[in-house]
Structure 1
Amino acid sequence: MTITDNVHFTHLTDTPEADQPTPEATPATDGVELVTLPALNVSIENNVRTAADLDPAFLASVKQHGVLLPTIGYRDQDGRVVVRDGQMRVLAAIEAGCDVPVFVTARDDNTAKRIAEQLVANERRTALTDGDRLAAYRQLEIEGLSVTAIAKETGTKRDTVKATLAVAKSEAATKAVTDSALTLDDALLFAEFQDDPEAIAELQGCVDEGYADELKFTAERIRQDRQGKADMARIAGEWEAKGVRVVTSEDDYTTLSSLTDANDDAEDRPVLDAEAHATGCAGHAVFLQAWGEHTAVAVCTTPVAHHVKYPRYSFSTAPAAELTEEEVAEQKEAEKAARRELIANNKAWDAADTLRIEFVKSLLQRKTLPKDWTMFAAVAGTRHGWTMRADNSGGVRDLLSIESGSGYGADTVATWVEQHPAKAPHVALAVVLSAFENAANREWWRRPATEGAAYLNQLAAWGHRLTDVEKIAAGIQPEPVDSVEDADTAAE
């Protein structure tokens, strides 16, 4: 026997037909009675759920669709319907001004029984999985519902629906949700790179190795690598069209700024002129700077045809030992490895820059700033006072999204805070953070100093997750890696 075998459908608000007796809702004895009545006519029993705040999305759903799932209750001694399971639905129905369906059962007001049943009913419910939700949203779209219509029908924000559908349409993103239990935001990264198997493999590698929290950083680095490769391919094509060789990190070369045609004992030792070198030396070439501003730098692949601008002088009377061919090869390989590491970390720094600034902006959007922000600002203004001296009003405006208005420079920020006095603490902290961001550069990881370490460690204490290259700048030894990422281009 199923529960529906003994269900009696009684609508207390129905108007009886002419010459028909008015139906009465009587307590069920050995069955279940389904009644529908105005929510205000229902009593809510004491409940183990003490917080009955209505979720806006849930309330919107009830206003849109009514109460879809019947509540469960019983009749008291006076015949009044008392709801045991479903207080949130009743409260939402009261707010929405609609009826509420109730399964009236043969329960009583036994306190121990009530508490046990409410605990079981609330704790044994299984919510939809994200995979279920993806499939459902996709099916609604296939059925012809637009993003706006789905948002309206489900009481979900339009942006959330749009993002969910983007994930649902990507096999890699859907797999990331169903197999790896990633969040919607993380899965969107897989959807973004769904046409790039190498990028998907790299993102999945983060997940498989237990570094899912690095997905945003990895995705940002992939974006910048994509743009960088496109820029580099364009620049390389332009130089090759001119008949100039483009070298990579695997080639041997020396930058023109390190060479001269002057003798070692000459007083004036100018560096090689790029135009003269281009027409007068068979070793003329360019390498493409792979980080920061993508540009071509003139180099020479036959440096022995020139002189070293800064010769190394030795005060030792003993002649320098000649290196064997094997030692020379090892030295060159070490130099190439160091160059690859330099390029990889510079790229990583550029990607970390973007995510760090996003965190700083979100920090300044909080209603309540970190409790120790004033201490940090005071120490920064004294110990790192030199960093604080520069005008960084442009950075402050960017971090706080302040319109430039009619003022100029720092005056714009001052005018804005006068108009928004409650935001004075946020502006004060933004001035400090912007000063550090203005000073932040790749030298922070190449030559770690107290300035960068103080700033990055403070951000970490406030919730920013430091990337490996930021850990180097912060004086934190990052976990060892098996290999350094290969780079296709060279940098000094």
Structure 2
Amino acid sequence: MSITEHITVTHLTDQPHPEEHTIEAPADTAPAATGVDLVHVPAAAVVIEDNVRTAADLDTAFLASVKRHGVLLPTIGYRNADGAVVVRDGQMRVLAAREAGTTVPVFVTERGDSTAARIAEQLVANERRTGLTDADRLQAYRQLELEGLSATAIARETGTKRDTVKQTLTVAKSDTASAAVTSGQATFTQALLLAEFDGDPDAITELTECIAEGYDDDELTHTATRLRQEAERREARVQVHADLVAAGKRVVGEDDDYESLDRLTDAADDVTDYAERTPLDAEAHAECAGVAWTVREYGTPEPVQVCTTPDAHHPRYLGHRATSTVGSTPEAEKSDEDRAAEAEERKAARRALVANNKAWDAADVVRREWVAGLLQRKTAPKDAARFLAVALTRHATIRYANGMVSARGLLGIEATGWEGDVLSGWIEEHPTKGLHLSLAVVFAGFENTANREWWRTPDRESRGYLNQLAAWGYPLSRVEQLAAGIQPTDDTDDAAADGEDPTTDQAVTE
């Protein structure tokens, strides 16, 4: 079945509004358009009338469509004194048909108007055309698929890239995503993210709220990356949880009160030497009434033993008050209310820790992609030389940090071999990219140093590196703002709105 079988062509004409001044044909000319004939003329034989459109660049997709289907919408013209068909509206279609070596359908009318009338008609014809909306395309592509056309066939029939067709069909098949596009609540790019998480109501809710709050594409990228990682970890966590249950272990959740074994000890409070305040031994703790298990998500989810009765032991890390009152009168027994408040405080701190750790892992992916893109630009960023000078002096140890991130990876070099040989060979082939290479080496060092502790305890490296990236245009996520020494509050947003740069005194120059 051809895509053209269900296409109906309708010629719409704007109704003129009464105006004080109108363009009229000269009095001695014949009346316009007493009859209309539809003729098909070889494109090479058609005369193109003077046109208000001065740039007639043929779009590749449009030309491909004409080559496959011919000219679907008739042009509008008239016959000149020599009997040749002159096209007034449709020069792009005529030019494409000439390239395709085909004919052009023309509505031939009787014309007797002036140059001013021609210009006015061409302006109206070109400016009063409304393109299809994303919602229109969603419905049309979906209907074509239901008619039996594959994504490849739709792409071929419409002259559209196959990836674009696949993305459109993905959105069309998601009720949430298609509704968001149709209602105007989301752009097509945003709807693609909604479609990706179709079937995950929590992720859909979070993305929808972010879109409603006006998140830009960069912020949504951070959120979507984190949600993808959470989905992968959730699947792995479910499996670890199932294995624990199958083994007869007691498993606690986020709403339960528990403490990790490394924060508890059986050493008495009067033992102040931390070398002697050893954490609880998992094997020995197995006899405790509070023995339980949880799934830790530092990287790959794994089972970890915890204690649900932390008060049966002692805190491993003594606070200032505890160490300064050794030998004094013991504290009064805690009330049930105090114990409940402490338990809630521990749970709240643990939830915040888990949320920020997940956000940090997602930010790692987005930030490294952005840094790699920065290195692909023709010119190095502003103040790159100063940044390198400070990084190689004040942050000298960063240069030697090893890890998953490499300079060759950030530069997109696919050659294998020892890093130094690969990079030196690359710079010989790209002698003008010395600054880019130096940046890649330092970036890799910072990225291999970056870890979850950066947001908990920002240091000179985290503040200097992240604030410098922000100065170059990288949008710091909220957890990265913490690592940069910026509290993500309304005050920060207000300062930015007033033209102030809250990162200025925290840049890598510090």
User: Counterpart of 1:297?
Assistant: 304
- SS of residue in 2 equivalent to 1:247: coil
- 1:313 positional shift: 0.9
User: Counterpart of 2:251?
Assistant: 246
Decide whether the 8 Å contact of 1:287 with 1:299 is kept in 2: yes
User: Counterpart of 1:338?
Assistant: 349
- 1:261 positional shift: 3.6
1:329 matched to 2:340? The reply is yes
User: Counterpart of 1:259?
Assistant: 264
| CA RMSD after TM alignment | 3.5
The 1:278–1:451 alpha-carbon spacing in structure 2 relative to 1, beyond 3 Å, is: closer
In 1, the alpha carbon distance for the partners of 2:166 and 2:99 equals 29
Q: In the alignment, which of 87, 108, 118 is matched to residue 104 of structure 1?
A: 108
The 1:342–1:259 alpha-carbon spacing in structure 2 relative to 1, beyond 3 Å, is: closer
User: Counterpart of 1:21?
Assistant: none
Decide whether the 8 Å contact of 1:255 with 1:300 is kept in 2: yes
In 1, the alpha carbon distance for the partners of 2:370 and 2:415 equals 22
User: Counterpart of 2:233?
Assistant: 228
In 1, the alpha carbon distance for the partners of 2:389 and 2:124 equals 54
In 2, the alpha carbon distance for the partners of 1:251 and 1:124 equals 64
In 2, the alpha carbon distance for the partners of 1:301 and 1:217 equals 35
In 1, the alpha carbon distance for the partners of 2:279 and 2:327 equals 31
1:353 matched to 2:364? The reply is yes
User: Counterpart of 2:118?
Assistant: 114
In 2, the alpha carbon distance for the partners of 1:261 and 1:316 equals 17
User: Counterpart of 2:211?
Assistant: 207
Q: In the alignment, which of 294, 303, 325 is matched to residue 287 of structure 1?
A: 294
- 1:446 positional shift: 1.8
1:191 matched to 2:180? The reply is no
- SS of residue in 2 equivalent to 1:125: coil
In 2, the alpha carbon distance for the partners of 1:110 and 1:28 equals 11
The TM-score normalised by the length of structure 1 is 0.79
In 1, the alpha carbon distance for the partners of 2:386 and 2:73 equals 54
Q: In the alignment, which of 77, 98, 108 is matched to residue 94 of structure 1?
A: 98
Decide whether the 8 Å contact of 1:28 with 1:104 is kept in 2: no
Q: In the alignment, which of 176, 179, 182 is matched to residue 183 of structure 2?
A: 179
The 1:382–1:157 alpha-carbon spacing in structure 2 relative to 1, beyond 3 Å, is: farther
Decide whether the 8 Å contact of 1:163 with 1:184 is kept in 2: no
The number of equivalent residue pairs is: 456
- 1:127 positional shift: 0.7
AA aligned to 1:301 is T
User: Counterpart of 1:18?
Assistant: none
- SS of residue in 2 equivalent to 1:245: coil
Correspondence list, 1:393-412, <5 A? 394-405=405-416, 407-412=417-422
- SS of residue in 1 equivalent to 2:192: helix
Deviations for 1:278-298, whole angstroms, at most 9, x for unmatched residues? 344333333332343423333
Worse-superposed segment, 245-254 or 132-141: 245-254
Q: In the alignment, which of 15, 39, 42 is matched to residue 43 of structure 2?
A: 39
The 1:88–1:376 alpha-carbon spacing in structure 2 relative to 1, beyond 3 Å, is: farther
Decide whether the 8 Å contact of 1:359 with 1:464 is kept in 2: yes
1:217 matched to 2:222? The reply is yes
The 1:109–1:422 alpha-carbon spacing in structure 2 relative to 1, beyond 3 Å, is: farther
- 1:462 positional shift: 4.9
The 1:353–1:99 alpha-carbon spacing in structure 2 relative to 1, beyond 3 Å, is: same
- 1:62 positional shift: 1.5
Decide whether the 8 Å contact of 2:76 with 2:89 is kept in 1: yes
AA aligned to 2:352 is E
- SS of residue in 2 equivalent to 1:313: helix
Decide whether the 8 Å contact of 1:148 with 1:158 is kept in 2: yes
User: Counterpart of 1:15?
Assistant: none
Decide whether the 8 Å contact of 1:393 with 1:409 is kept in 2: no
- 1:164 positional shift: 1.5
Decide whether the 8 Å contact of 2:62 with 2:159 is kept in 1: yes
User: Counterpart of 1:12?
Assistant: none
- SS of residue in 2 equivalent to 1:211: coil
Deviations for 1:213-259, whole angstroms, at most 9, x for unmatched residues? 44433333222222222322322333344444333344443333233
In 1, the alpha carbon distance for the partners of 2:349 and 2:132 equals 51
Decide whether the 8 Å contact of 2:32 with 2:111 is kept in 1: no
- 1:126 positional shift: 0.8
Decide whether the 8 Å contact of 1:291 with 1:343 is kept in 2: no
Decide whether the 8 Å contact of 2:32 with 2:113 is kept in 1: no
In 2, the alpha carbon distance for the partners of 1:388 and 1:249 equals 39
Decide whether the 8 Å contact of 2:380 with 2:436 is kept in 1: yes
- SS of residue in 1 equivalent to 2:324: coil
Unmatched tracts of structure 2, length 5 or more: 1-8, 12-30, 491-510
In 2, the alpha carbon distance for the partners of 1:479 and 1:310 equals 31
AA aligned to 1:440 is A
1:133 matched to 2:137? The reply is yes
In 2, the alpha carbon distance for the partners of 1:83 and 1:108 equals 14
Correspondence list, 1:155-170, <5 A? 155-170=159-174
Decide whether the 8 Å contact of 2:261 with 2:282 is kept in 1: no
1:434 matched to 2:438? The reply is no
In 2, the alpha carbon distance for the partners of 1:379 and 1:48 equals 57
Worse-superposed segment, 164-173 or 376-385: 376-385
The 1:435–1:266 alpha-carbon spacing in structure 2 relative to 1, beyond 3 Å, is: closer
Deviations for 1:256-286, whole angstroms, at most 9, x for unmatched residues? 3233344534866152453442344333333
Q: In the alignment, which of 140, 150, 156 is matched to residue 152 of structure 1?
A: 156
State percent identity of aligned pairs.
57
Correspondence list, 1:53-64, <5 A? 53-64=57-68
Worse-superposed segment, 469-478 or 386-395: 386-395
- 1:425 positional shift: 5.5
- 1:152 positional shift: 1.0
Unmatched tracts of structure 1, length 5 or more: 5-26, 481-492
AA aligned to 2:100 is A
Decide whether the 8 Å contact of 2:266 with 2:280 is kept in 1: no
- SS of residue in 2 equivalent to 1:436: helix
AA aligned to 2:129 is R
- 1:359 positional shift: 2.9
The TM-score normalised by the length of structure 2 is 0.77
